[in-house]
Amino acid sequence: MKPATNTAMRQLITTVRSVMPFSIPIQELCSGTCRGCAKKLLEYLDTELSEWEARLDDGESPGFNDLRQLTKTSRKIHAALVRNGLIEEP
């Protein structure tokens, strides 16, 4: 049985938070060649995740489109961080 969208969104948020380098020091984020501002991308993603956590805590149920959109955004930011050499490709 597939999980409810609330559960799926919480699982997605947990996965993204565990994979993305949110705690990396600013010196590492902004050193070397940069293709897309990693600092701004991570700040944006953190904001999106925090907003969804708050919405879930308030009892809102995400739709499939919400899950798809957050997944798509997370993947694009992950790819940008790989290109910048901040995380390794899985």
Q: Is the pTM of this model over 0.75?
A: yes
> Tens digits of per-residue pLDDT, 19-75?
999 988 887 777 766 777 888 999 999 999 999 999 999 999 999 999 999 999 999
d(CA 3, CA 62): 12
Task: Provide the token pair at 35.
Answer: 């293709």
Residue 32 neighbours by CB under 8 Å, 6+ apart = 84, 85
Residue-level pLDDT at 3? 78
Query: What are residue 67's phi and psi, to 5 degrees?
Result: -65, -45
Q: Is 53 exposed, middle or buried (0-12, 13-18, 19+ CB in 10 A)?
A: middle
